[in-house]
């Protein structure tokens, strides 16, 4: 092998490995995006129809359905390792989930209804996490989507009330799903 | 004067394995086989050579009931890989 051939080989192997690792991340984005869209739309419909905000407790369906599905997907890709980027993205989204679950539980137990604009906080964090993922993946579409979702969503959460706020999460779910398809096509 | 290229790394399959392991924390035998497109026998021989030079560590275990061989680059291996890439770049730039 010449020096140039060796360098080309290193580049090719690294690129192929990176693609196979990061395309796996795309599946997770699609899974959570679909789940968020469906759950938020179902809660919106139930709240809107019955006028009962207690349907918000159905949000627990997200981790109950989501995490077992993550385990099933991960088992299918068990031989695909993690690299620094995929590990950081997983860590970032896990931190987001932890923040959202803690703030949701805390608000249920310690706050009176509507004392805190939960939707604003959650959608802002969602946009931030999406944007940070875009920075790690070096993808401008994801970065801009995250900014629109976070900043636009926060303003929208202030402007609309009760059940209509859930439509923000339907939009958020669609953005995350779109991110998944972008990641899968970028690293195909 | 050109720096000497590490003969252990100057082989297509061993270099491919080291490139993958330099990027990930650890990788299964099946993943390395799939990414390099090599045969099990040839990959096994090359992994033994890299392991003997302490460039990688090889751990044999089980994933459920299925045997699984996990490879990880060592500090010595990472240093050798960096030096190899540096040497290649010097060859090309001169």
DSSP assignment of A32-82 equals HHHHHHHHHHHHHHHHHHH--GGGGGGGGHHHHHHHHHHHHHHHHTTTS--
Q: B64 to chain A, minimum CA–CA distance in Å?
A: 11
Burial A104-143 (b: 16+ CB within 10 A, else e): beebeeeeeeeeeebbbbbbbbbbbbbbbbbebbebeebb
Chain A residue numbers with beta carbons less than 8 Å from the beta carbon of B92 are 3-4, 7
Q: What residues does each domain of chain A span?
A: 3-186
Is A46 or B63 the better-scoring residue by pLDDT? A46
Whether the Cβ atoms of residue A181 and residue A30 lie closer than 8 Å to each other: yes
Q: Which residues touch A98 (CB under 8 Å, ≥6 apart)? A: none
Which residue, among B88, B38, B45, has the nearest Cα to A13 in the 3D structure?
A: B38
Q: Which of B22, B23, B85 to mutate to test the interface with A (most CBs of A within 10 A)?
A: B23
Residue A86 is predicted with a pLDDT of 87
Nearest to A79 among B10, B25, B28 (CB): B28
pLDDT at B78 over 90: yes
Q: Which of B31, B33, B34, B83 to mutate to test the interface with A (most CBs of A within 10 A)?
A: B31
Cβ of A6 within 8 Å of Cβ of B88? The answer is yes
pLDDT at B1 over 70: no
Residue A115 is predicted with a pLDDT of 67
Domain B12-93 - what CATH class?
Answer: mainly alpha
Residue B59 is predicted with a pLDDT of 93
Residue A90 buriedness (CB in 10 A; 0-12 / 13-18 / 19+): middle
Q: A111 to chain B, minimum CA–CA distance in Å?
A: 43
Q: Which of A1, A7, A10, A71 to mutate to test the interface with B (most CBs of B within 10 A)?
A: A10
Q: How far apart are CA A86 and CA A83, in angstroms?
A: 5
Q: Which residues touch B15 (CB under 8 Å, ≥6 apart)? A: A1, A6, A9, A10, A13, B9, B84
Chain A residue numbers with beta carbons less than 8 Å from the beta carbon of B24 are 17, 21, 81-83
ipTM score of complex:
0.84
SS3 B52: helix
Chain A residue numbers with beta carbons less than 8 Å from the beta carbon of B91 are 3
Could you tell me how many residues make up chain B? 94
Low-confidence ranges of chain A (pLDDT < 70): 112-115
Chain B residue numbers with beta carbons less than 8 Å from the beta carbon of A83 are 23-25
């Amino acid at each position: 092998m010449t020096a140039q051939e060796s360098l080309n080989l290193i580049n090719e192997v690294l690129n192929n490995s990176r693609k196979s690792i990061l395309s796996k991340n795309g599946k997770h984005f699609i899974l959570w995006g679909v789940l968020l869209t469906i759950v938020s739309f179902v809660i919106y419909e139930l709240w809107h129809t019955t006028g009962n905000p207690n349907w918000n407790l159905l949000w627990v369906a997200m981790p109950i359905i989501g995490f077992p599905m993550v385990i099933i997907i991960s088992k299918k890709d068990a031989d695909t390792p993690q690299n620094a980027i995929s590990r950081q993205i997983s860590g970032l989204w896990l931190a987001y989930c932890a923040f959202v679950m803690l703030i949701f539980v805390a608000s249920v137990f310690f706050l009176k209804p509507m004392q805190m604009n939960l939707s604003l906080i959650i959608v802002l964090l969602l946009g931030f996490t999406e944007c940070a993922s875009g920075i790690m993946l070096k993808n401008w579409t994801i970065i801009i989507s995250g900014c629109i979702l976070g900043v636009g969503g926060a303003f929208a959460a202030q402007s609309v009330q009760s059940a209509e706020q859930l439509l923000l999460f339907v939009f958020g779910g669609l953005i995350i799903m779109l991110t998944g398809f972008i990641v899968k096509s970028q690293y195909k | 004067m050109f720096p000497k290229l590490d003969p252990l790394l100057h082989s297509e399959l061993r270099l491919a394995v080291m490139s993958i392991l330099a990027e990930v924390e650890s990788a299964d035998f099946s993943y390395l086989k799939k990414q390099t497109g090599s045969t099990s026998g040839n990959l096994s021989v090359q992994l033994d050579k890299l392991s003997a030079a302490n460039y990688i560590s090889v751990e044999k275990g089980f994933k459920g009931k299925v045997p699984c061989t996990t490879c990880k680059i060592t500090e010595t291996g990472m240093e050798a890989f960096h030096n190899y890439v540096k040497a290649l770049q010097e060859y090309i730039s001169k």
